Structure 1
Amino acid sequence: MSCNSTCQDEAVYRCQNQTNPAFVAMYSVVCIIGIPLNLMALVVFFCCIKSRSHTIVYMTNLALADLLLVCTLPIRIYYHLGIGELSQKTCEVAGLLLLANMYGSILLLTCISIDRCLAVCFPMSSRVREGRKKAPLICLGIWLLTIGASLPPYIINSNKNDTSKTCFRKIPTYAVKPVTLASTLTIGFGIPLIILLLCSWGLVHAVSKSTAAKMSGIVDSCKIQRMVIVNLAIFLCCFLPYHVMLVVIYINNDQMTCSVMSAYYNALMVTCLNTILDPLAYYLTAETFRKNIEIDTVRKMLPMNNLSSDGNTRSKPLVST
Structure 2
Amino acid sequence: MSCNLTCQETHANECQNQTNPVFVAVYSVVCTTGITFNFMALVVFFCCTKSRSHTIVYMINLAIADLLLVCTLPLRIYYHSGYEGLSQKSCEVAGVILLANMYGSILLLTCVSLDRCVAVCFPMSSRVREGRKKAPLVCLGIWMLTIGASLQSYLANTNTQKINQTQCFHSIPKYAFKLTTLTSSLTIGFGIPLIIMLLCSWGLVRAVSKSAAAQMPGLIDSCRIQRMVSINLAIFLCCFLPYHVMLVVIYFHNNKRIPCSVLSAYYYTLMATCLNAILDPLAYYFTTETFRKNVEIDTVRRMLPMINVSSDGNTRSRAPVSTVML
Whole-angstrom distance in 1 between the partners of 2:211 and 2:290: 16
Q: Would the aligned equivalents of 1:65 and 1:105 in 2 still touch at CA under 8 Å? A: yes
For 2:126 and 2:116, the matched residues in 1 are separated by 16
State the partner residue of 1:212.
213
Q: Displacement of 1:163 after TM fit? A: 4.5
Cα-to-partner distance string for 1:149-196 (whole Å, 9 max, x where unaligned): 111123323323424321111221223310111000000000000000
| 8 Å contact kept, 2:41–2:63 | yes
- Deviations 1:78-112 (CA, angstroms, capped at 9, x unpaired): 00011113111111110001000110000000000
> What is the aligned partner in structure 2 of residue 180 from structure 1?
181
The match for 2:264 among 252, 262, 265 is 262
**Match in the other structure for 2:191:** 190
Among all aligned residue pairs of Structure 1 and Structure 2, give the percentage whose two residues are the same amino acid.
Answer: 74
Match of 1:279 among 272, 278, 281: 281
Are the aligned partners of 1:69 and 1:102 in contact in 2 as well (CA < 8 Å)?
no
Q: Name 2:62's counterpart in structure 1.
A: 62
Query: C-alpha distance in 2, partners of 1:27/1:319?
Result: 32
Indicate if the aligned counterparts of 1:31 and 1:71 stay in contact, CA closer than 8 A: yes
Matching of residues 91-102 of structure 1 within 5 Å:
91-102=91-102
Matching residue of 1:124 = 124
Structure 1 Cα separation of the partners of residues 288 and 165 of structure 2: 48
Could you say if the C-alpha distance between residues 175 and 251 of structure 1 is closer, same or farther in structure 2, counting changes exceeding 3 Å? Answer: closer
Give the match's secondary structure for 1:158. Answer: coil
Q: What is the CA distance between 1:289 and its match in structure 2? A: 10
Structure 1 segment 77-156 matched on structure 2, within 5 A? 77-156=77-156
- Partners of 2:165 and 2:98 lie apart in 1 by 21
Provide, for residues 264-297 of structure 1, a one-character-per-residue CA deviation record: whole Å limited to 9, x for no partner.
Answer: 0000001111110001211222139999xxxxxx
The corresponding residue for 1:14 is 14
Residues of 1 paired with 2:94 and 2:142: CA distance? Answer: 19
Aligned residue runs from structure 1 range 233-248, under 5 A: 233-248=234-249
- Taking the aligned partners of 2:66 and 2:220, their CA distance within structure 1 comes to 28
TM-score w.r.t. structure 1 length? 0.87
Which structure 1 segments of 5+ residues have no match? 292-317
Question: Structure 1 residues 319, 267: closer, same or farther in 2, change over 3 A?
Answer: closer
- State how far apart, in whole Å, the 1-side matches of 2:275 and 2:19 are: 21
Deviations 1:101-128 (A, max 9, x none): 1100000000000011011111111111
CA–CA separation in structure 1 for the residues paired with 2:5 and 2:31: 34
Task: Give the residue type in structure 1 aligned to 2:122.
Answer: F
Aligned with 2:83: secondary structure?
A: coil
Q: Which amino acid aligns with 1:119?
A: A
CA distance in 2 between counterparts of 1:320 and 1:94 reads 37
Amino acid at match of 1:196: M
Letter aligned with residue 246 of structure 1: L
* Count of matched residue pairs: 293
Gaps of 5+ in 2: 294-322
Structure 1: which 4+ aligned runs deviate by more than 4 Å?
Answer: 288-291
